Amino acid sequence: MPETVAWVDPREQIEFSVLLANGRLAGRRFASREYAERWAQPDEQVVEYKLVCECAV
């Protein structure tokens, strides 16, 4: 019997990345805000955005 996976509304999925000092986003996504904060340098900012529209939250 196939395993049932709970449905997650993609409009509610949040991605985390790091805004680099040069104004660009890091070329990777992070599983959590905490992981992104550990990866970011002091002069960089952690940002959150929705996966569907990639708009800032």
Straight-line distance from the first to the last Cα atom of the chain, in angstroms, rounded to the nearest whole number: 39
C-alpha pair distances (Å), 32 with each of 1, 4, 7: 32, 25, 20
- Strand locations in the chain (E): 14-19, 45-50
Q: Say what the pTM is.
A: 0.72
- What is the rounded CA–CA span in Å between residue 6 and residue 28? 26
Q: Quick one: pLDDT at residue 57?
A: 60
Kindly state the tokens that stand for 8: 């997650």
Q: Along the 57 residues of the chain, how does pLDDT read in single tens digits?
A: 778 888 888 888 889 999 999 999 999 999 999 999 999 999 999 999 887 776 666
45: β partners: 19
Q: Quick one: pLDDT at residue 24?
A: 95
